Amino acid sequence: MRSAPDAVDVHWDPARALPDSDPTRRDLFLSLGAFVETCLIVAAGAGLPVRAEVAVDRTALRAARLVPAPAVYESPFTPEAVRRRRCARGGYAPGALDPAVLAALTALGADLRQVPTRSLVGPLAEADRWMFGTPEVVAELRDWMRLSPRHPRYHLDGLTDRAMAMSRVEAAGLAAMIGPRAYPVTRRLGGPVLLAAASKGLLRYDGTVLVLVGSAVTPEAVIEQGRTLLRVWLALSERGLAVHPLSQLLDCAATSTALAARLGLAPDESPLAVFRTGRPLREPVRSARIPASQV
Ligand SMILES: Cc1cc2nc3c(=O)[nH]c(=O)nc-3n(C[C@H](O)[C@H](O)[C@H](O)COP(=O)(O)O)c2cc1C
């Protein structure tokens, strides 16, 4: 974020983007939208009248400007709700999403399609095989994952073994298989199949996966969908429900196309975010955040 006279600009850092895992920048713009919505909710909580002008400038790497508004942003959500929101990547209690909750989410402006968890066991395995079998994607994963507390950035950012609900042994095994020297061998020996098998249990329960559907024709449209996604996650969180994004289902072209076909999407509609939701069996671990002084 950068302060301009009478505005705060929201930029992105290209060094923290994932060009190989997210070549269309879908997740980048969704995340920026989620961040903009979070800023508006926090500003409203502080009584500051702020609105967002969403306009992407790819040269300046700017996604939006937060500017003074005539009135405080209206939102049903509070900064406390932002603090409470969690991603949970471990086990969930069985049970499909209550239709009344789905109706409440739709009322927030989200086009959400519901898919039973078990029906995505095969597609998730396929997407994971693609993910672990693609060297450029594995390199980005390796950079972003924090598989040991000894990692120098363990408490700063990235996805830790604890946030991924992995045991120390599982984390050490994964680190050994995708390490820069071991990975070419792992890949030749069929490691991606083994690694994908590890996540098979993730969807083997009776639960709900939600797919956010929308237009991806412009980056601004995707940013707006990211704002909606954050509202949906907060609304679920307020009901004690966590989310677990499974973006590899969209990053892998084959599973993304199959999902769009299964949902009967029109040519101008895309699956933008896929996540399971439910009541986590254990209190999830929040990801580390870079302290403001080090941003
Ligand atoms: C658009 C988007 C896509 C995401 N995709 C994934 C994903 O595929 N796998 C995953 O584990 N987390 C995914 N996440 C979750 C982020 O890793 C997580 O929200 C972030 O690290 C903040 O952590 P917290 O929710 O634990 O506080 C995604 C988040 C967003 C906004």
Q: Which atom of ligand 1 is nearest to the CA of 286?
A: 26
Look-up of token digits 């095969």: 122
Give the pLDDT band (50/70/90) at residue 48. very high
Q: Say yes or no: CB of residue 163 within 6 Å of ligand 1.
A: yes
Q: Say yes or no: CB of residue 276 within 6 Å of ligand 1.
A: no
94 vs 76: CA distance, rounded Å: 28
Query: Considering the domain boundaries, does residue 167 fall inside one?
Result: yes
SS3 category, 90:
coil
The fraction of the chain above a pLDDT of 90, given in percent, is 91
Give the pLDDT band (50/70/90) at residue 194. confident
Look-up of token digits 């892998």: 252
52 vs 65: CA distance, rounded Å: 6
Q: Say yes or no: CB of residue 105 within 6 Å of ligand 1.
A: no
User: Which of 12, 27, 222, 241 has the most ligand 1 atoms within 8 A of CB, as the residue to mutate?
Assistant: 27
Inform me whether the pLDDT recorded for 232 exceeds 80. Answer: yes
Query: Considering the domain boundaries, does residue 178 fall inside one?
Result: yes
Tell me what the mean pLDDT of segment 232-243 comes to: 97
pLDDT in tens, 238-282: 999 999 999 999 999 999 999 999 999 999 999 999 999 999 999
28 vs 282: CA distance, rounded Å: 29
Q: Say yes or no: CB of residue 89 within 6 Å of ligand 1.
A: yes
Query: Considering the domain boundaries, does residue 224 fall inside one?
Result: no
pLDDT in tens, 60-112: 999 999 999 999 999 999 999 999 999 999 999 999 999 999 999 999 999 99
Number of independent structural domains in the chain: 1
pLDDT in tens, 102-139: 999 999 999 999 999 999 999 999 999 999 999 999 99
Query: Considering the domain boundaries, does residue 251 fall inside one?
Result: no
- pLDDT at position 226 is 98
Query: Considering the domain boundaries, does residue 247 fall inside one?
Result: no
What is the SS3 string spanning 125-173? HHHHHHHHHCHHHHHHHHHHEECCCCCCCCCCCCEECCCCCCCHHHHHH
Radius of gyration of the chain (CA): 19
Q: Say yes or no: CB of residue 286 within 6 Å of ligand 1.
A: yes
Query: Considering the domain boundaries, does residue 143 fall inside one?
Result: yes
Query: Considering the domain boundaries, does residue 168 fall inside one?
Result: yes
The fraction of the chain above a pLDDT of 70, given in percent, is 98
Query: Considering the domain boundaries, does residue 186 fall inside one?
Result: yes
Q: Which domain holds residue 183?
A: 132-199
Q: Which atom of ligand 1 is nearest to the CA of 273?
A: 1
- pLDDT at position 220 is 98
Q: Say yes or no: CB of residue 31 within 6 Å of ligand 1.
A: yes
Residue nearest to atom 15 of ligand 1 (CA): 245
**Could you give phi then psi for residue 19, rounded to 5 degrees?**
-60, -30
Give the pLDDT band (50/70/90) at residue 291. confident
Q: Say yes or no: CB of residue 208 within 6 Å of ligand 1.
A: no
**Could you give phi then psi for residue 50, rounded to 5 degrees?**
-135, 145
